[in-house]
Amino acid sequence: MIDISVHGLNKYYGSNHVLRDITLEIYKGEKVGLLDKNGSGKTTLFKVIAEDESYDSGNISKASGKKVEILAQIPTFGEHETVEDILRSSFVEITEIHEDMKRVEGDGSQSVLARYGKLMEEYERLGGYEVETKIEKICNGMNIGENMRKSLFRLLSGGEKTRVNLARILLRDCDILLLDEPTNHLDLASLSWLETFINEFLGTVVVISHDRVFLDNVVSRIVEIEDGEVNFYSGNYTFYVEEKEKRYQTQAEQYKQQQRKIEQLQTAIKRQRVWAAMAPQNTGLSKRIKTFEKRIEQMEKVDKPNTSRKMAEDFNSGGHAAKEIVSLDSVRKSYGSNVLLNDVSLSIGRNDRIALIGANGCGKTTLLKMIMGEETCDSGIVKVSSNIKIAYMSQIITFDDANATVLDALRNISPLPEEKLRSILARFRFKALDVIKKVGTLSGGEKSRLKLCLLMQNQVNFLVLDEPTNHLDIESREWIEDAVLDFNGTMLFISHDRFFLCQFASKIWSMKDGEITAFNGGFEDFLQATSISTKQVTVPTPKKKKEKSPVGAGKKSGRACATNCEAIRTYKTKEKPKIPIPLETQIYEVEAELAALDKEITACLSWLHGRAASKGCGQPNSDYTKLNLFYQQKAQLEIHIASLYNDWANESENGGEL
């Protein structure tokens, strides 16, 4: 049963065509991940589906009677509303019935008792007796304590408001959940709880997320919006990455083969024009030229797959560092009765890569600021080695002058000429008019790239990062990972991005109740040792410094599959007979075989793509083996026909008859 159907959807913001002819179907009970680059339209699609925003053309339909809830922007609540009020707003109807029941309690008249009985039945039917249990369950999972529940909502931080709003959505009785970046501002325990909740949720979930481990754990299908168009992947995020690379390689090979064929035809056309000029009486040559030109025109052109440049920039080494980078000796820090650090003594050694983890509000950022000298401790000593050169990337990235341009920001720290500065910025994808953007108007990903650019111009041997991947799309996260990957110094970082944690942490500092527990091992080992989560976290394969194959999947091309890949013909070039066959005849025959083989390849590719787009259907390796066999056969035929054309040309040059 289809819960959401979108057909031919178009949406413009002025002249910007945000959603271009979007067509997709989401089935009952599916858990679907929606991907694209930041600002490419996925949030707009959410709002259109939830009827919070209009669209210009197309159709959207939802299963009759299904209730839809969307987690997007934080709504505006009353000035005096507490967190408890907002959580209970998810049960308005139940609350009203309960108030009616309280008003008639104590009246023993027959009519009132009958009304009370009906109210009680309705209260029970709507789950009134389960409200308190639901609220407690969600609050525990979202780390919303008693003090926060009593607080005014308007006084909460942005991250706390996001968590409360997510809790409010999860409490509502709905059939379809649309979640836009639900993992932002969640600590590791809350992330694990949310994954369990979604997996146990019986309804349909469509989620926008850049948390790769979260997508691996909860979704069974990926829908990617790329350049306003939709591509489908029948699996989780890991499947998506692998499948996208396969499609890229298939399209790249298809494009390469087609370009080679076009080049051969164009070469043949040039040669035959020469021959036609030499033998004007041969009208067959003119017809052949037109036939070849028509063949090129009628080809269903394969788009050249998009490529994505890898950031070719590394941190400048800050030279030799002391064996002990930072030492904490009996450090205490508190805000009123809230004790963040209670007599903590630890040290950071040279080349350590330490992940600082813990619940939101436990003091992680405060500790970083103490090491940076931006905060003081109440007692104890925080000592940083004198030969340490620190690069600090805070969670909220700001610049000294919000009105400065991107070029000015780099110029202010570097004496290099403008041409060299522009070249540096280009490596961070700031090109042309991008360099004159004001830094205050940059997106989160652009700010992170610029901050990295500025940090990399300095000599650095100690890197301190506070949530470096938060609010970034996957491509921007990978850019930061590529930069950090080749850093040879010491790292101390805060992150809730489990992919990032698995890739970079060699030690874990776990903060809780004013104490820090040091664990000598990676993040996955830490999870297993502490049993924080029973879910397996996929450890990313360590990247090597090499030219990265782009993973931009190509657009599907080719007509609907007319034949199944199981029906495969074996093509062989014909053996040379004892009686010589004219070259022109041989070329005709090989051309016919190539044309037939092209049809089979196109049909096979279309069939494979059709299987990938269908629900719950993968692509067996055997089908790709058969496809590779086609290409091998085609390559042999193309070598043969190239040889025939050369013989044909040589025969013409030697005065032979055509």
Contact 538, 552 (CB under 8 A): no
Closest CA to 552 of 312, 313, 309: 309
pLDDT in tens, 81-101: 999 999 998 888 888 888 888
Cα angle at 303 between 299 and 309, to 5 degrees?
Answer: 160
Give the tens place of pLDDT for each residue, 23-47. 999 999 999 999 876 556 777 888 8
Q: Could you count the other beta carbons within 10 Å of the beta carbon of residue 646?
A: 12
**Residue 542 confidence class, pLDDT cut points 50, 70, 90:** very low
Six-digit token string for 500: 């990032």
**Domains of the chain, each with CATH number or no CATH:** 241-305+554-653 (no CATH), 316-530 (3.40.50.300)
- pLDDT tier for residue 136 given thresholds of 50, 70 and 90: very high
Q: What is the chain's mean pLDDT, rounded? A: 80
Residue 616 has pLDDT above 60, yes or no: no
Within 13 Å and on the Cβ side, how many CA atoms surround 141?
A: 20
**Pairing of β 379-384 and β 324-335:** antiparallel
Q: Is 27 helix (H, G, I), strand (E, B) or coil?
A: strand
**Residue 370 and residue 383: Cα distance in Å, rounded?**
10
Structure confidence at residue 330 (pLDDT): 94
- Residue 41 DSSP class: S
Poorest-pLDDT segment among 182-191, 272-281, 356-365, 575-584: 575-584
Q: How confident is the model at residue 621 (pLDDT cuts 50, 70, 90)?
A: low
Residue 319 predicted with pLDDT over 80: no
Among 15-24, 94-103, 146-155, 451-460, the range of highest mean pLDDT:
146-155
Residue 228 exposed, middle or buried by CB count within 10 Å (0-12, 13-18, 19+): middle
Which pLDDT score, from 0 to 100, does residue 272 have?
78
Mean pLDDT computed over 532-547: 46
Q: Picking from 34-48, 500-514, 531-545, 621-635, which range would have the lowest pLDDT averaged per residue?
A: 531-545
- What amino acid occupies position 609? H
Task: Compute the average pLDDT of residues 493-512.
Answer: 92
Per residue in 369-418, pLDDT (tens digit) is 999 999 999 999 999 988 888 889 888 888 989 899 999 999 998 889 99
Has this prediction a pTM greater than 0.85? no
Q: Point out the least confidently predicted range of 244-248, 271-275, 391-395, 558-562.
A: 558-562
